[in-house]
A and B are shown apart, each in its own frame.
Chain A
Amino acid sequence: MTWEYSSAPEGAQVALRESYGLFIDGNFVEPSDDATFATLNPANEQVLAEVATAGERDIDLAVAAARRAYEGAWGATRPADRAKYLYRIARLIQERARELAVLETLDNGKPIRESRDVDVPLAAAHFFYYAGWADKLAYAGFGPDPRPLGVAGQVIPWNFPLLMAAWKLAPALAAGNTCVLKPAETTPLTALRLAEIIQQAELPPGVVNVLTGAGATGAGLVAHPGVDKIAFTGSTEVGKAIQRATAGTGKHLTLELGGKAANIVFDDAPLDEAIEGIVNGIYFNQGEVCCAGSRLLVEESIADEVIAKLKTRLARLRLGDPLDKNTDIGAINSAAQLDKIRELASAGEAEGAERWSPPCTLPERGYWFPPTVFTGVAPAHRIAREEIFGPVLSVLTFRTPQEAVAKANNTTYGLSAGVWTEKGSRILWMAARLRAGVVWANTFNRFDPTSPFGGYRESGFGREGGRHGLGAYLDG
């Protein structure tokens, strides 16, 4: 007997305008040179809306508005009142949660289950968390009277559009900075909706500005002399360019870049939960996660059993309409990203690794890639070294804890790692030796606003979340 779940589309309708302007100084305005670009639904390639491209003049206006607000209304706002604004934003995100979740799924391609249960609740949680810090900064560990930095330019990626906006804005505002936020070209809609919420929350004009556009807009913001701080989340390549551009300018900088995380499974691991952790580690958000557990390091003695269980589990993943509440795997965000995933997966095959995907039908329109596992992967293969940023897992084996650490650390990145074992002492031993900003034990891809997140080496520097996250926006 087969039990096919009937389609269960999320019912909430979201009103979309045909075109969106820039959010500068508290108002939505037309861009100065009328340039626009289209944002697509990656699940069916249909245009969702036309969005303004911010040019140099718009960047000037936004930075100037942020400066005025910093030196004026926002600077004069008492810390406890800053907290009230942040609480208000958090509550409005919760009130408009379904709308934001649907919009995120439409623009990004991620399953509604994830935008509803992860992205939007976590975005609200970040505002709630940092609201609490606004009037307690003297106790955050950055000296008795830490000062804000000024105007923060924040450039965010397309994989968690609303959540990354929250990660950037909440600590910056709590610390007393003003912001110019540049959402990713392919996913501007929830940031613009957040701008509406910021209007609704009656923040003083200019405290938050949102500039949409592509790489040139981001580069213009980074280079702008009126910006005191740059915070960037995205690729290592762009991160390096930003570091070059800001070198010698005196601008404060934090970077959250790529990763090639190892998810390490020992023979005494809680196996069924480890399988879930592997799946969540690499197939959550179609693997478009900088801290994704893209390298599975499994102890050789249990490798066959783990791979067999993993394949059984993957056969149950449901790929399809991201708005269906039962969908586990949605669409890849863009044609360019899909090309990159395909190219690396082909390289994996060409280099001799064994490729496997569960039987699944990909929709005809849109950008889709099936969940994929490579076994027999050698450390030298490209799929073991380069960030794929897609639903592609490379399986390697190890024999001893020392070998696991050596292989896990054998990467230019250092963002996250996972350890699966029932032995507490081994978790601590591993965590002390893994070169990763975040080490998860018997879980993976778990996020919480109270916990600092960030990497080192080519994964960047600076922390977001927790008390530490305030450090990126304070001059202690």
Chain B
Amino acid sequence: MIDDALVADLTRSETSLRRFLLELPGVDQVGAEERARSLATRSIKAASKVWAIKTAISMVDLTTLEGADTPGKVASLCQKARRPDPGDDGVPPVAAVCVYPDLVGTAKRELAGSAVAVAAVATAFPSGRAAVEVKLADVASALDQGADEIDMVIDRAAFLAGRFGLVLDEIRAVREACGPVRLKVILETGELATYDNVRRASWLAMLGGADFIKTSTGKIVPAATLPVALVMLEAVRDFAVATGAEIGVKVAGGVRSTKDAIRYLVVVNETAGETWLDPAHFRFGASGLLNDLLMQHAKQRTGAYVGPDDFSLE
């Protein structure tokens, strides 16, 4: 389905790639932020809210990316991922658990027999400052332990220096290493700074073979924002028109409340379209968000608010 000829043509040389990226239509900052603000005023109530909360739960990549992560912490997170609300059979499992490569084995064991995927951040996450051989070894180690998804970071230094070909080559190398394993490419939009750069990096990642483009590592502020998600969703929409390929979007960092999550789903729905409203097309990289979704889901189901201590803290 993918229009390989088009991709090959755009990426045949550094010059053609550079020309293509720099000639993408610009993003007017005021207009993009205004559009995001306007979509954020959508009022999602009743049945449409319940649907949105459940869908959002199924889109969560439950994440722990700390130096202090232990097998015990990851194990408890995996239990949560399998069955976020043991008191409610209507609550789906999350999409994935996201950990550092050394904990992939633990997560795989804990999630055996479930539909929850194990995602590993790799390629010298979060800074990406290592030789390409080191990054590929990082990916290989995660894959060896059975990672189902790889979240790589792009080389922001190369991107900001205008060396787009270098960024592309690295993404392609990781893509090749991953084979059929789902590849998410983290743009770290907080370091790219402008929406024009976000759009260019989105196309670069998609041309390199990303299955998902992802906003942030969560280690840099600002992480995901609504206008950034809007620009990325416009990119995947346009990429689908040009090539037929449906690339997913993952927002990570800073999405903490149900209200925020629903706003993202509205932007997804009204930008890329309803095809993108499933875990194969959209993800939330988050930890605290899940409990808020569960609380709001219980509220919608029972009519009464429950407290934060009614759900487990991992």
Chain A residues close to B by CB (< 8 Å): 1-8, 113, 117, 268-273, 276-277, 316, 325-326, 422, 442-443
**Could you tell me the distance in whole angstroms from the C-beta of A463 to the nearest C-beta in chain B?**
24
Chain B residues close to A by CB (< 8 Å): 25-28, 30-32, 34-35, 41-49, 51-52, 55, 231, 234, 265, 269-270, 274, 277-278
**Supplied contacts A1-B277, A6-B49, 5 more A-B pairs, CB within 8 Å:** A3-B274, A5-B48, A272-B32, A273-B35, A276-B35
| A-B pairs with beta carbons under 8 Å apart, 25 shown | A1-B278, A2-B274, A3-B48, A3-B52, A3-B55, A3-B269, A3-B277, A5-B44, A6-B46, A7-B46, A8-B44, A113-B41, A269-B25, A269-B26, A270-B27, A272-B35, A272-B231, A273-B28, A273-B31, A276-B35, A277-B31, A325-B42, A422-B28, A442-B30, A442-B31
**Could you tell me the distance in whole angstroms from the C-beta of A33 to the nearest C-beta in chain B?**
46
Please tell me if the beta carbons of A443 and B30 are within 8 angstroms of each other in the complex. yes
- By secondary structure, the B interface counts as helix
Please tell me if the beta carbons of A4 and B26 are within 8 angstroms of each other in the complex. no
Nearest residue, chain A, Cβ from B50: A6
Bound complex: CA A325 to CA B234 (Å): 25
Please tell me if the beta carbons of A5 and B42 are within 8 angstroms of each other in the complex. yes
Give every chain A residue within 8 A of B277 (Cβ-Cβ): 1, 3
Give every chain A residue within 8 A of B47 (Cβ-Cβ): 6
Give every chain B residue within 8 A of A422 (Cβ-Cβ): 26, 28
Nearest residue, chain A, Cβ from B31: A273
Give every chain B residue within 8 A of A6 (Cβ-Cβ): 44-49
Bound complex: CA A150 to CA B31 (Å): 42
Nearest residue, chain A, Cβ from B49: A6
User: Given A2-B274, A5-B48, A270 and B43 touching (CB < 8 A)?
Assistant: no
**Could you tell me the distance in whole angstroms from the C-beta of A295 to the nearest C-beta in chain B?**
20
Bound complex: CA A180 to CA B255 (Å): 52
Bound complex: CA A3 to CA B231 (Å): 21
Bound complex: CA A271 to CA B45 (Å): 32
Please tell me if the beta carbons of B45 and A272 are within 8 angstroms of each other in the complex. no
Give every chain A residue within 8 A of B265 (Cβ-Cβ): 3
**Could you tell me the distance in whole angstroms from the C-beta of A425 to the nearest C-beta in chain B?**
15
Give every chain B residue within 8 A of A316 (Cβ-Cβ): 270
Bound complex: CA A368 to CA B274 (Å): 27
User: Given A3-B51, A6-B45, A6-B48, A270 and B31 touching (CB < 8 A)?
Assistant: yes
Bound complex: CA A3 to CA B42 (Å): 13
Nearest residue, chain A, Cβ from B195: A270
Nearest residue, chain B, Cβ from A302: B25
Give every chain A residue within 8 A of B269 (Cβ-Cβ): 3
**Could you tell me the distance in whole angstroms from the C-beta of B234 to the nearest C-beta in chain A?**
5
Please tell me if the beta carbons of B43 and A326 are within 8 angstroms of each other in the complex. yes
Give every chain A residue within 8 A of B52 (Cβ-Cβ): 3
User: Given A1-B274, A6-B49, A271-B25, A276 and B43 touching (CB < 8 A)?
Assistant: no
**Could you tell me the distance in whole angstroms from the C-beta of B59 to the nearest C-beta in chain A?**
12
**Could you tell me the distance in whole angstroms from the C-beta of B206 to the nearest C-beta in chain A?**
17
Give every chain A residue within 8 A of B45 (Cβ-Cβ): 5-8
